Amino acid sequence: MVDRIVVGAHYGLRDWLAQRITAAVMVVYTLFMAGCLLKATAGYAAWKEVFAGQGVKTFTLLFLLCLFYHAWIGMRDIAMDYLKPTAVRLSFHVLVILALMVYTIWSVQILWGV
Amino acid sequence: MKFRVYRYNPDVDAKPYMKEYDLDIDPGNKMLLDALVMLKELDDSLSVRKSCREGVCGSDAMNINGRNGLACITPLASLKEPVELRPLPGLPVIRDLVVDMTQFFKQYHSIKPYLINNDPPPETERLQSPAQREHLNGLYECILCGCCTTACPSFWWNPDKFVGPSGLLQAYRFIADSRDQATSERLDDLEDPYRLFRCHTIMNCVDVCPKELNPTEAIGHIKDLMTKRLA
Amino acid sequence: MSFVPNKKRPKHLALHLIKLPLPGFVSILHRVSGFALFLALPILLLILQASLRSPESYAELASTLSHPLLKLMLLGLLWAFLHHFCAGLRYLAIDLHWVKNLASARLSSKIVLAVSLALTALMGVKLW
């Protein structure tokens, strides 16, 4: 194989925007949650109550999905800078993606589980 | 004044080392380059690039006490002793303070640093209104010394793929030019995860630019145009 | 004998000898804190799960987390989150051209460091 520098994959802007949009969602959720926690009393019952409604469950899942997508872009950015051999980088990508997919399934189970 | 200078001669040295000098010089209103010229008289094996000695040619960029700058416009009196001089970070060292700028200029050429206009040339110049000309201020003044690009960690890790602050400032200089007709192609060329988007707006470039230019802001304007195009 | 030039030229990249301006320092902390939070994701999900599952698991979690070492870890993660949060807001401000010159870049970096540390301390006091 010839040794060429390959650039030109057109997802730079898309990922940059996605990172910012997911960040904005997370900021809103964080402020919302901080408000909930300030109002709620201590203890299991009150904590459970916060997550009782479908609305909060959905918002929480949206937050977690944004978090996982945001984390993927961040981890890939780190790999771009420090992990050079293709095999190492690809393995890192696969591990991160698989972990985030498992976290996604797990999040649904936590929120809608017992 | 005490100096510690990065020395490396590929013919003799297995690896670089720091050499100490004690120079009898009154800092007064002298610049660092004056001291370097005297050092070279003392030890003619020392290699330095220099030319205009007034901050216009951009030849004598180096890492001065950990910070990139031009020796010719850095007042000696402003420097803490011992003055530690090293070559620009991240570029291959040819000898002593002289680095190989090939990679830097490759990135500069890759952004097509010239006006692209396919209209037949007019009888006179291609005219700009004063307002259109105003857009080029803060962009065209770059002297390509390499201080900013070699202060940028993103360039250190990906010098072959990331254009770097200096090249991106010049990319915007042509995007912002009312006479240029290749804006879309220029944006296409930069819409890649490496060429522009390795910039994380840490502003090391703005911090060191000896001409006080702002590559981060220029990069921000390019991102604005890309976003506008998408929407 | 012909001369063989040293093809492998050295590079000066001794990071401890290159000055990192304050905005750059805030930026590398943004990366470090983001990476730490990514590594902590399974722990955080585990905590969320235990806190919601049942009163028993909630009580068990509360007693586990009262261990000083775990509290310290939690405080570290709290700082990581708060720093990442504040530094992220600063990046959004840069993108919106609210922060554009060197002076405002430095000032906003100081604010990010101070606010995230202050909030961590405040919440740390509450946690203890």
Taking only the tens place, the pLDDT of each residue in A52-96 is 999 999 999 999 999 999 999 999 999 999 999 999 999 999 999
Name the band, by pLDDT with cuts 50, 70 and 90, for residue C43.
very high
Collapsed DSSP state (helix, strand, coil) of residue B67: strand
Q: Is residue C15 part of a domain?
A: no
The domain tally of chain A equals: 1
**In the predicted model, is pLDDT for residue A103 greater than 90?**
yes
Range of the domain at C62: 23-127
Task: Tell if the CB–CB gap between C41 and A99 is shorter than 8 Å.
Answer: yes
Give the end of a domain, one of B99, B121, B143.
B99
Chain C, residues 73-112, CB within 8 A of chain A, namely 85, 88-89, 92, 95
Name the band, by pLDDT with cuts 50, 70 and 90, for residue A39.
confident
Q: What is the pLDDT of residue C61?
A: 94
Under DSSP, the state recorded for C17 is: G
Whether B223 and B111 map to the same domain: the answer is yes
**In the predicted model, is pLDDT for residue C128 greater than 80?**
no
Q: What is the pLDDT of residue C70?
A: 92
Give the end of a domain, one of B99, B130, B154.
B99
Neighbours of chain C (3+ CB pairs under 8 A): A, B
What does the pLDDT average to over C6-27?
92
**In the predicted model, is pLDDT for residue C5 greater than 60?**
no
Residues of chain B neighbouring C5 (CB-CB closer than 8 A): 10
What does the pLDDT average to over C2-28?
87
Whether B111 and B161 map to the same domain: the answer is yes
Q: What's the whole-number average pLDDT of chain B?
A: 96
The domain tally of chain C equals: 1
Q: Is residue C35 part of a domain?
A: yes
Whether B205 and B119 map to the same domain: the answer is yes
CATH of the domain at A79: 1.20.1300.10
Name the band, by pLDDT with cuts 50, 70 and 90, for residue C1.
very low
**In the predicted model, is pLDDT for residue A30 greater than 80?**
yes
Q: What is the pLDDT of residue A1?
A: 59
Q: How many CB atoms lie within 10 A of CB B221?
A: 15
CATH of the domain at B162: 1.10.1060.10
pLDDT tens figures, B10-60:
999 999 999 999 999 999 899 999 999 999 999 999 999 999 999 999 999
Q: What is the edge-to-edge ordering of all strands in the sheet holding B17-22?
A: B17-22, B2-7, B83-86, B61-64, B67-70
As a whole number of Å, the end-to-end CA separation of chain A is 55
Q: Is residue A76 part of a domain?
A: yes
**In the predicted model, is pLDDT for residue A41 greater than 90?**
no
Q: Which of B66-80, B167-181, C2-16 has the lowest mean pLDDT?
A: C2-16
Whether B128 and B178 map to the same domain: the answer is yes
**In the predicted model, is pLDDT for residue A5 greater than 90?**
no
Between C9 and A4, the more confident residue is C9
Q: Is residue C8 part of a domain?
A: no
Long-range contacts of B35-44 (CB under 8 A, 24+ apart): B35/B1, B35/B3, B35/B76, B35/B83, B36/B60, B36/B71, B36/B85, B39/B3, B39/B5, B43/B19
Q: What is the pLDDT of residue C2?
A: 53
Distances (CA, A) of B170 to B155, B173, C2: 16, 5, 43
**In the predicted model, is pLDDT for residue A7 greater than 70?**
no
Q: What is the pLDDT of residue B185?
A: 94
Instruction: Give the integer Cα–Cα distance in Å for B175 and B136.
Output: 10
Distances (CA, A) of B48 to B72, B87, B88: 12, 9, 12
Dihedral in degrees, nearest 10, Cα atoms B47, B49, B53, B56 = -160
Phi-psi region of B115 (alpha: psi -120 to 50; beta: other; left: phi over 0): beta
Task: Tell if the CB–CB gap between A75 and C49 is shorter than 8 Å.
Answer: no
Chains B, C: CB contacts within 8 A come to 80
Whether B168 and B190 map to the same domain: the answer is yes
Q: What is the pLDDT of residue C33?
A: 98
Range of the domain at B110: 102-230
CA distance C69 to chain A (A): 22
Q: What is the pLDDT of residue A42?
A: 83
Name the band, by pLDDT with cuts 50, 70 and 90, for residue B182.
very high
Task: Tell if the CB–CB gap between B94 and C6 is shorter than 8 Å.
Answer: no
ipTM: 0.90
Give the end of a domain, one of B36, B66, B99.
B99
Range of the domain at A89: 12-112
What does the pLDDT average to over C83-96?
97
C122 touches chain A (CB under 8 A): no
Tokens encoding C116: 């995230």
CATH of the domain at C111: 1.20.1300.10
Q: What is the pLDDT of residue A113?
A: 84
Whether B12 and B49 map to the same domain: the answer is yes
Name the band, by pLDDT with cuts 50, 70 and 90, for residue B157.
very high
Residues of chain B neighbouring C24 (CB-CB closer than 8 A): 153, 202-204, 207
Q: Is residue C1 part of a domain?
A: no
The domain tally of chain B equals: 2
Q: Is residue A4 part of a domain?
A: no
